[in-house]
Amino acid sequence: MAHFDDASILETTVSSEHVFDGLILHIDHITNRLPNGKLAAREVARHVGASAVVPVDDAGNVWLVKQFRAPIDRILLEVPAGKLDFKGEDRLLAAQRELQEETGLTAKSWTHLTDIVTTPGFSDELISLYLARDLEAGESHPDDDEFLNVVKVPLVELTAMIARGEVTDAKTICAVLLAEKAMRG
């Protein structure tokens, strides 16, 4: 085992080819020069980014959504979240919009928990995670092709579900465990 400085592991891009345009992903094949001078091919899926919210009400319940996820062919329990409308959109505004669209909730108190990169090995997706408190219920209005069920779970029960493997969505695990830490102060 050896320790090196950051410069010894840097790659530099030599060329880039755009190879695929999908519904969500836009893929480049990049050729990078490695620290040893050799070239390596890297796949880079561009994603617009997203925001996600842990809404915790005054009774200590987290408001979650269940929705069908085609890639895993399953219904998943997740924090309210959604893609940005465009690259560079204000991430707090996107979080507020997605929370209201999916659950009908608005919130007076917002805390930025952190930003996560979901899959740095193959995509640049970055999700901003927020804690929302002082909630007020309202009318939800999901997108036309978006079917979801809203579920309320006490925060303490939700963290136990995560530990038992009953919640598998990575952004939800990150957001809920960080919200729990933030609320403990």
Subset of 3-22 contacting a copy of itself (CB under 8 A): 3-6, 8-11, 13, 19-20, 22
Nearest-approach distance from CB 41 to a copy of itself, in angstroms: 6
Residue closest to 176 by CA, chosen among 51, 44, 11, 52: 52
Among 58, 70, 86, 108, binds a copy of itself (CB under 8 A): 70
C-alpha to C-alpha distance for 165 and 154, rounded to whole angstroms: 17
Site string for a copy of itself, 150-169 (x = CB under 8 A): xx-------x--xx-x--xx
Question: Residue 106: how many CA atoms within 13 Å on its side-chain side?
Answer: 3
Q: How many residues does the chain have?
A: 185
Q: Which is nearer to a copy of itself, 96 or 123 (CB)?
A: 123
- 8 Å CB contact between 98 and 89: no
Task: Give the count of residues interacting with a copy of itself (CB under 8 A).
Answer: 85
Decide: is 114 part of the binding site for a copy of itself (CB under 8 A): yes
Phi, psi (degrees; rounded to nearest 5) at 84:
-65, 150
**With the C-alpha atoms ordered 37, 41, 46, 51, is the resulting torsion angle positive or negative?**
negative
Q: Which is nearer to a copy of itself, 134 or 147 (CB)?
A: 147
Which range binds a copy of itself by CB under 8 A, 37-45, 53-61, 88-96? 37-45
Q: Which stretch binds a copy of itself (CB under 8 A): 53-61, 88-96, 137-145?
A: 137-145
Only segment of 53-61, 84-92, 93-101, 176-184 that touches a copy of itself (CB under 8 A): 176-184
Question: CA 49 to CA 30: how far, in whole Å?
Answer: 20
* Contact between residue 63 and residue 135 where contact means Cβ atoms under 8 Å apart: yes
How far is Cα 43 from Cα 61, in angstroms, rounded to an integer? Answer: 40
Among 14, 17, 18, 66, binds a copy of itself (CB under 8 A): 66
Residue 92 within binding range of a copy of itself, rule CB under 8 A? no
Stretch that binds a copy of itself, among 54-62, 69-77, 84-92, 93-101 (CB under 8 A): 69-77
Distance CA 45, CA 67 (A): 24
